[in-house]
Structure 1
Amino acid sequence: MPRPLSATIHLDSMRHNLARARSCAPGSKIWGVVKANAYGHGLERGMRGFADADGLALIETENAVRLRELGWTRPVLLLEGIFEAADVALLGEYGFNSAVHCIEQVKMLEYTKLFSPIDVHLKMNTGMNRLGFKPDEYAAAYARLRAIPGIRNITLMTHFANADELEHPRLTVHEQVRRFQQGAQGLAGERSLSNSGGVLQQALLSAELSNDWVRPGIMLYGGTPGGKTAAEYKLRPTMTLASSIIGIQHLTAGDTVGYGSSFQATGPMTVGVVACGYADGYPRSAPHGTPVLVDGVRTTLVGRVSMDMMTVDLTPIPNARVGSKVVLWGDGLPIDDVAASAGTIGYELMCALAPRVRVLEGALGQLA
């Protein structure tokens, strides 16, 4: 029998969350973001789970090609664009959309013959200061792209730094929208501004946002960029990491648990050993008190997470035994709760899932 640890991917929840994104931004087309192996869910599962998306967006050129090989015929967007001149040929051959965020990419397109028309997304840096042209540089970059034979459609794009907190004290979404509108004034083309946070806040921003395309990522996987909980946003978990109790220890006052003896029992307690550790992608940084479900009952992690195992408090579950089911995150336990306790975000937990973890498929609420 295999080790009792598995990640179950809920395609039904992926479809639900995509529909939720569409209901939040009803007038927009949707790029379903499947970068980082569809946030750890698997590229092929991402393609199936988001089959109703208008297009799929990702970073990796090799995985963009793989989408075509898997049979995806709708648009594909390379969110970081091309990395060298040799990549230009891929755009025409596979019909990829490409982000253009720097003058070097413009030059690659200028100096490499395009044998098929391509569409590009010209990125504006409105304050996040990662990629993109500053607003006062944007029109000149647009003009150079427009002059290239073979460039067909130019979508105008930016990325929000704080869409989960509209009135962020350092940079508001309203200010980024203002800068975008100023830099894009008079330029023809569709607009693409909102990530997950923007999509979830679309109702509040509708008066100032014009989104022809939105680019939801984490919300499609049942996590949130911040603000409300996934349940409050009506999102469903798409990955459940589950295991079993493989050992039980009965402690007395003064007994310690795990490496470093970082946890010490203050009285009699029962501890269960779970087949999951940091080599499986569970965060080693998760402290005592991180939530865990055992047989459907919420309890907590105790002691330090080790490579292959962790220990949990079974005192609230007196009937727990070897073989009891454990949910580390997902069905019944929001991944954001675990991430918050570990001092990280749900994105990282999903993406960190290790190759040795068995990946299954199943409907939410119907774990094997």
Structure 2
Amino acid sequence: MTGNATIVGLGMTDQGRRLGIAPRELRRQAIDAALADSGLRREQIDTCICFGALPEDLRYAGLSPRSSFALSSGGATPALSVVVAAGLIATGQAEYVLSVYGEAFTGNAPRLEQNHGAAGRSDIGGYSYGYPYLYGLVGPGAVYALGARRYLDTYGGTSEDLAAVAVVERAYGSVRPGAVGYGEPITVADHQASRMIVDPLRLLDCSRPTDGGVAIVLTSAERAVDCAGTPVEVAGAGCGHNITNWWGGTMVERFGAAPDAARRAFGEAGVGPEHISVAQLYAPFTIATLLQLEEYGFCGEGEAGAFVRDGHTSPTGTLPTNTGGGQHSGFYATGFTPLSEGILQVRGEAPTNQVPDAELCLVSGSGGNGGIHGSWAHVALVLARPR
């Protein structure tokens, strides 16, 4: 169903800390940029998929779609919105679909609230629902740390395996203007000297919240030829859900890519991990990169640390990964961080770290603090240059 869906517009605002711009305005700016990129008029957008947006945003942005709705699957939402848009386009329910995100996470300091099941954006209660909270764990770092500790103990790894990921992703971010890590490369020694947040995760294993907006426009391959934006084909997609790990008692063993999301995405695209040119992974913590490299089949179980240390994820490696710095050292726009960089790479338009001949890009999205590496739903996309 995804084979005919094509991304024809990408709009991004500045991404950074304390931008001083309201979320609704960030969304409007991203929409403006995506429409300009696609060459489409506002009235041509017939469906809007909103992430963290309110109905009033449509009027504020000057949109009048036939349908609009909110989609909520945590950090998996942006990639999932691509799957939903592909279905709407394939079934004739939509011609041009806009998916938009915009948040200002750094305007107010989070405060610790009792878990009441209806946490707002500005309090940390939103991170305390579900299984982790039942056992005294507050914040996504705590549940990712459980997965990290199991992984290192199981495969004889050390904190330096995590450091290798941080160093590579910061190297990418250090040369990307506007990235949170811009101009600040780090070493393994820097990583080891950073303070412990929740064992074994140190400060330099963790991403930082940022403000910003991102929007994309999708349509069919046939209509894409009339759009201004460089087209990016959605060659394959797959979804998975970690509730199965709860029933199987494997909550801290998997990130969620394997087996369902990865297998379906590669199957739809007719490719395997060996065909992927570049990867953009949802990884707010360094352990998430290691786990996904293995679950997607880029290396064997317990081999991801060596895979990164040997340079495979670096600019000259076999699988450049999180080339904009990722969520760790680029910016944090939930799943729009890997998705936007994936689009830029396939287009050949990345402002830095452009991978030559990036014909196939794997993009992952993961979200929801279900106590399984902080991940609940998982979505995999294979983006490609139109064939």
Where is the helix percentage greater, Structure 1 or Structure 2? 2
Q: TM-score, normalised by structure 1?
A: 0.24
Relative contact order, CA 8 A, sep 6+: which one is greater? 2
Q: TM-score, normalised by structure 2?
A: 0.23
- Bigger radius of gyration among the two: 1
